[in-house]
Amino acid sequence: MKWQGRRGSSNIEDRRRGGGARSAGGIGGAGAIVVLLVGWYFGVDVSQFVNLDGAGQGSAQSAELTPADERAAEFVSVTLADTEEVWSDIFRQQLGKVYNAPSLVLFKGQTQSACGGASAATGPFYCPPEKKAFLDTAFFTTLEDRLGAGGDFAAAYVVAHEIAHHVQNELGILGQANQIRARSSERESNAISVRIELQADCFSGIWARAAEEKFGSLERGDIAEAMNAAAQIGDDTLQRNAGQRVQPHTFTHGTSDQRQRWFARGFESGSLGECDTFGATRL
């Protein structure tokens, strides 16, 4: 992926050297740690399990930054800037609307959000009440070393997927879907979650296509990196790799095949209308 030398985003909130951070009520203590660890491994969004309504004050944990940390932060900043330009264009051209870009919180170790505690174990996530994405760049190492999904564009796909949740939030899709989930059984809630996540994968594909058209940023093998990342974090693959029996009723993000298919659909079409996972009879 060609990213060096391009504009970085001003919407980065860097908490890696410590500083104030918002906190929330909900699951706490050892219970929160267990939930967050399970959430990271199985690709479950943290906001599904913690209270989104609390508010308070906390602090980020400061840590020494390495050259790799700084390079990752620069990469994330450029990728976020790319999403800002791409989604501004898409909202204007396809919807006739203005895109309000989110902030992205970089942290190292742990921090707090309105969706609960965040640590390296949680993986990247989007917090709707704050309209912020949260990312410990150490996750990129985890993605490559533990999940077998290395490469710059695999990392860009991770960022693009979380920003896609913000796009859903801006369109009112995420709020409506989560309201329905709150009234549903666990099985039904999981099924809705899968549609949310697959649509975010489709939106990520749209971003990848538009980024190539606008910046010429893709290199040979980049789409293969993103497709591999999508495959490695499919619910069925994660369950198999954990030595568990595959249980479709517990899926929250979709199978590896589904995640790849919807990313490819977005990339090939470039159209928001092609990403209607909620109306699709076949995922």
Per-residue pLDDT tens over the stretch 140-178: 777 767 666 666 788 888 899 999 999 999 999 999 999
Q: Tokens in use for 68?
A: 């790799």
- The answer to whether 7 and 78 are in contact (CB under 8 A) is yes
| pLDDT (0 to 100) of residue 56 | 36
| pLDDT (0 to 100) of residue 18 | 62
Q: Provide DSSP, 199-224.
A: HHHHHHHHHHHHHHHHH----TTHHH
pLDDT at 210 over 70: yes
Of the candidates 126, 92, 112, which has an alpha carbon nearest to the alpha carbon of residue 200? 126
The mean predicted confidence, pLDDT, of the chain is 82
Q: How far apart are CA 175 and CA 203, in angstroms?
A: 17
Per-residue pLDDT tens over the stretch 12-45: 999 887 643 333 333 333 333 333 433 444 344 4
Per-residue pLDDT tens over the stretch 107-121: 888 888 888 887 767
How would you class 283 by CB atoms within 10 Å of its CB: exposed for 0-12, middle for 13-18, buried for 19 or more?
middle
User: CB atoms < 10 A from the CB of 225, how many?
Assistant: 20
| pLDDT (0 to 100) of residue 63 | 61
The CA–CA distances, whole Å, from 256 to 43, 111, 115, 134, 252 equal: 12, 30, 27, 24, 12
Q: How far apart are CA 282 and CA 197, in angstroms?
A: 15
- The answer to whether 87 and 200 are in contact (CB under 8 A) is no
